[in-house]
Amino acid sequence: MFLLSLTLLPGPPISTCLPSLTTNIHIHLNDMIISLIADHHQPPTPSRYESQKRRDWNTFGQYLKNQRPPVPLSQCNSNHVLDFPRYLDQFGKTKVHLQSCMFYGQPEPPAPCTCPLRQAWGSLDALIGRLRAAYEENGGSPESNPFATGAIRVYLREVRESQAKARGIPYKKQKKKPSQDKPSDESSSTLFLS
């Protein structure tokens, strides 16, 4: 919907201004319509999650191409998926103490040590989740999704537990709090069909 407002000011007679006035209005309206159409047809900016998922998918694809010999995505299996986070560990920023380290099990060690830096469990869990979704969005079937196998779930659980022990922080699964938005049993209306 367009709102057009004209104010006539003192000046030359309207008959001499009318052709240029209508031309200016016509040009201005055309510009507005073109701008609205251009805004409407631009693809929406992808969310942060979608952008990260696309970057992760491209990175995984590049990882497969760099294997010797290169691995086509159609031949990717859970072993390739398991190797990918191990490869990413070299870029990790989470100190994971070895059992032989004097600081093993201490949440805040008093001094530095030579234990390796790894990818944090939460980061790996989120990464695998995004790759699992990207696999299916890129034509893979849910039944053959190498990111959704039992071996991957076991690996993530082992990483979570070992990192928690190494840091001295027990992992506790948090229970979901009941939502405040849902009506209580007393106030909800239920329809029973017999």
| Residue pair 130/52 in contact by the 8 Å Cβ criterion | yes
- How far, in Å, CA of 124 to CA of 144, rounded? 21
The pLDDT tens digits of the residues spanning 63-78 come to 999 999 999 988 999 9
Q: Which residues contact 141 (CB under 8 A, 6 or more apart)?
A: none
* Residue 32 reports pLDDT greater than 70: no
pLDDT at 131: 97
Structure tokens at 144: 């053959």
Spell out the domain ranges in the chain: 48-88+117-161
Q: Which residues contact 60 (CB under 8 A, 6 or more apart)?
A: 84, 131
Phi, psi (rounded to 5 degrees) for 186 = -70, -35
- The residue whose two tokens read 């989470």 is 94
Cα distance from N-terminal residue to C-terminal residue, the chain? 50
* Residue 82 reports pLDDT greater than 90: yes
- The residue whose two tokens read 């507005």 is 32
Segment holding 130, helix H or strand E: helix 121-137
Residue 152 to residues 40, 129, 147, Cα–Cα distance (Å): 42, 11, 7
The pLDDT tens digits of the residues spanning 104-127 come to 998 888 899 999 999 999 999 999
The predicted model scores a pTM of 0.65
- The residue whose two tokens read 């093993």 is 104
Phi, psi (rounded to 5 degrees) for 178 = -65, 140
Task: Quote the mean pLDDT of the chain.
Answer: 80
Of residues 50 and 23, more confidently modeled? 50
pLDDT at 30: 64
Residues listed for the chain: 194
Three-state DSSP class for residue 117: strand
pLDDT average, residue stretch 89-105: 92
pLDDT at 155: 97
| Residue pair 162/96 in contact by the 8 Å Cβ criterion | yes
Structure tokens at 146: 């190498």
- How far, in Å, CA of 151 to CA of 80, rounded? 11
- How far, in Å, CA of 164 to CA of 104, rounded? 10
Considering the chain, what percentage of its residues have pLDDT values greater than 70?
A: 65
Band (pLDDT 50/70/90 cuts) for residue 173 is low
